[in-house]
Structure 1
Amino acid sequence: MKKHHIGIHEVASVGIIFIITKIFLPLPRAMVEIGGTAAWMIILIAALFCPLCWWGIKGVMTNAKPGSSLITATEEIMGPYLGSLINLSYFSFFFMVAFMILREFSEVLATDIIPRTPLSFILLSLLIPASVVAHSGIEVLGRISWITIGLVVSSLAILLFGGVLTHSEPNALVPFWGTGKSQVISSGVVKSSLFSEFLVFGFLIPRMRKQEEWAKAAWWCITISFLILLCTIIAYLFIFPYPTAIRVNFPLLEISRIIIFGRWIQRVESIFLIVWLICTVIKLSIAVYCSTVTLSQMLKLPTHQPLIFPLMICIYSFAILPTSEMSAVNWDQDFLRVYGSIFSICLPLLTWGVGILRKKRRTT
């Protein structure tokens, strides 16, 4: 398969799936715990910071040699030592995303779907196919994501629409500011890390056909991801009004269980479980791919494939570290969803700023 032949649709699809898959986990409940009936507003405020990530990534790429990825551009601008330190931070971010999504979704399966199956077997059942897809490269990931995105979005639309039709609380968004104005606004700023997976664009846009298509793919990804997250939180509040919403472990799974489309169409979670599995494997594949590519480019290796197997062992080892389901969820919510913006916004903007200063010095 030829390189540099990934288009707008594929790039946007990879970004959307990488960002929105977290809604299948306890994220909606966590947002309601923080913002109450104003949880949707946290998503709105967080999305306002997402363009900063895009501008930072684009600025880094345009201040480096043509065809550079985020990793090679960062090293070119910041130098071998500081650049390697920043790139190691990017690797840590994608590595954390990989083992956290693996453990959290495995806990969903082990707790509510197949409770008699050993957790280790579930972990490997998700990790092995994800590693195979990551081994195939970003072109394969892009095409799989583009084929899958329609199924994911349509299933989510049916799920949320069916849940609201089955049960809806008219005053679900009252009071307007939920747990308080200051709490909601400050949480929205901190939770800008909800869109930190947008950092994947640093690996995607060098593989696009035309540079003028970068912005289109980025804005499509930001807009659709934001709308999906926003609609999910609002629908969740209408279906499970506060404070009931903070007692539901896996919101979308519970919504799928209460849907009734008539006497003969009930308990449709088995249909949506297939979509969730596909979505999770794709996100895990993207995280594994970005982790291995980051390492391979830091080590100046020609390809990322030789690193897949050793990294797969490391991801599995870290995935079994949390002592319980809630411990795994807390690792995600208390660290990745609090400090994720440092990786996705602060570091690209810092690198971009240094690149601008160095360019000015060369011209003067």
Structure 2
Amino acid sequence: MRIHHIGAREAAAIGIIFVITKIFLPFQRSMAEIGGTAGWIIVLIAVLFCPLCWWAIRGVIKNGSKGSTLITATEEILGTFLGSVVNFAYFGFFFMITFIVLREFSEILVTDILPRTPLRIILLTLLIPVAAIAHSGIETLGRICWLTVGLIVASVVIMLIGGLMTHTEPHALSPFWGTGKSRVLTMGVVKSSLFSELLVFGFLMPRMRKAKEWGKAAWWCIAVSSVILFCTTIVYLYIFPYPSATRINVPLLEISRIIILGRWIQRVESIFLVVWLISIVIKLSVALYCTAATLSQMMRLPKHQPLVFPLAISIYSFAMLPPSVMTAVMWDRDLLRTYGSIFSIGLPLMTWLAGIVRNKWRQL
């Protein structure tokens, strides 16, 4: 198998975009529904669990043979049968991210931007560039992410500042514990799955040129992603106070629509829509690449490319399963963002501990 290599900057950029793109979906609304005025505290608690995911992934790969990915190292540690079961769970996780996010964003486009365009056309229009980018490999993904991550982050910062300058509610975060202290603390632990996309580092780390830069890429990703998710949540609550915050389908789109900075700076959502589209396409490309890479490594294929387009067709079919946009949002909120930490923290941590026990046993 030909090994493609990326640098720490590219790996961090892939991770950042893969994690933060959820801010363009009903993410902030979900935090407001769960925590009320304390939705931002849930994000802070979830951030505390990020290191667990990173340490577990690193531990699994280091317990495998040289050049192993998360998938191959898992099979080496747990054996063929149990390792295949865990790897199939990873495959299902990335597959589910791909088709749910595809359906959610397509519905946003149909509802708010292109109401006369059929949903199937939107799905296909998004899937074609996604499949092409995923087919090109990790090097292309890394370069695209590095070129666009600054644009995406800068646009979000400008939009949040513009929203705050247009309208704020001084007492928006009162009461402090929102829907209740116990509920907020509990849901903060449950929503550690907000950062479950960090699992992508199981594929990025072995492809990096220098192993000593693994930590640099991961910590930069964690730091930037945490700040972006936290800031978008707390600013959203200041601009659209609870309970109004629970009634807006696409929070950042509404923030961009209310920005008025003088006579000449109004209705800037058309500018930010381009950035959102780029971010969504990249996230879907990364998810599709990880899905294809997981399956190819499980099947011991030399390349992931032959699986990309068949998987894209399957993803299109699954994206049509939710009967409505609210069903797709519920699948994201109640499945991915509730049980995602099982895949990103639980399974790697279990595999890492099994690898430690195996190595101790061999030394006896």
Please classify the TM superposition score into its range, dividing by the shorter chain length. over 0.9
Q: Is residue 273 from structure 1 mapped to residue 273 from structure 2 by the alignment?
A: yes
After superposition, the C-alpha distances for 1:274-297 in whole angstroms (9 at most, x for unaligned) are 000000000000000000000000
Question: Deviating runs (4+, > 4 A) in structure 1?
Answer: none
> Unaligned 5+ residue runs, structure 1?
none
Q: Counterpart of 1:345?
A: 345
Q: Secondary structure at the match of 2:111?
A: helix
CA contact (8 A) 1:253 1:269 kept: yes
Matching residue of 1:53: 53
- The answer as to whether partners of 1:3 and 1:139 remain within 8 angstroms in 2 is no
Counterpart contact for 2:4–2:138, Cα < 8 Å:
no
| Corresponding residue for residue 42 of structure 1 | 42
Letter in 2 for 1:285: S
1:19 matched to 2:19:
yes
Deviation at residue 5 of structure 1 after TM alignment: 2.8
State percent identity of aligned pairs: 69
Q: What is the CA deviation profile of residues 142-180 of structure 1, one whole-angstrom value per residue up to 9, with x for unaligned ones?
A: 110000000000000010000000001111111111111
Distance in 2 between the 1:206 and 1:5 partners? Answer: 8
Letter in 2 for 1:242: Y
Deviations 1:2-45 (A, max 9, x none): 84431111001100100010110111001001101110000000
Gaps of 5+ in 2: none
Q: Tell me which residue corresponds to 1:181.
A: 181
Aligned to 1:205: 205
Give the whole-Å Cα distance in 2 for the aligned partners of 1:133 and 1:309: 11
1:171 aligned partner: 171
1:117 aligns with 117
Q: How does 1:207-226 map to 2 (within 5 A)?
A: 207-226=207-226
What is aligned with 1:332?
332
* Number of residue pairs the alignment of both structures matches: 363
**Contact 2:71 2:298 survives alignment (8 Å):** yes
> What SS does the corresponding residue of 1:179 show, helix, strand or coil?
coil
Cα distance in 1 for residues equivalent to 2:139 and 2:39 = 36
Opposite residue 123 of structure 2, the aligned amino acid is: L
**TM-score relative to the length of structure 2:** 0.99
**What is the TM-score when the length of structure 1 is the normalising length?**
0.99
1:123-202 matched pairs, under 5 angstroms = 123-202=123-202
- CA distance in 2: counterparts of 1:212 and 1:4, whole angstroms: 17
**Counterpart amino acid of 2:282?**
I
Question: What per-residue deviation string (whole Å, max 9, x for no partner) do you get for residues 302-357 of structure 1?
Answer: 10000011101110000000000101100110111100000000000000011001
* Separation (CA, whole Å) in 2 of partners of 1:358 and 1:36: 46
Answering whether residue 94 of structure 2 is matched by residue 94 of structure 1, we say: yes
In structure 2, distance between residues paired with 1:4 and 1:254: 41
| Contact 1:41 1:184 (C-alpha < 8 Å) held by counterparts | yes
Amino acid at match of 2:133: V
Kindly provide the amino acid, as one letter, of the partner of residue 76 in structure 1. Answer: E
Letter in 2 for 1:341: S
CA RMSD of aligned residues (A): 0.7
SS of the counterpart of 1:66?
A: coil
Deviations 1:217-261 (A, max 9, x none): 111100100000000001101110111111111000001100012
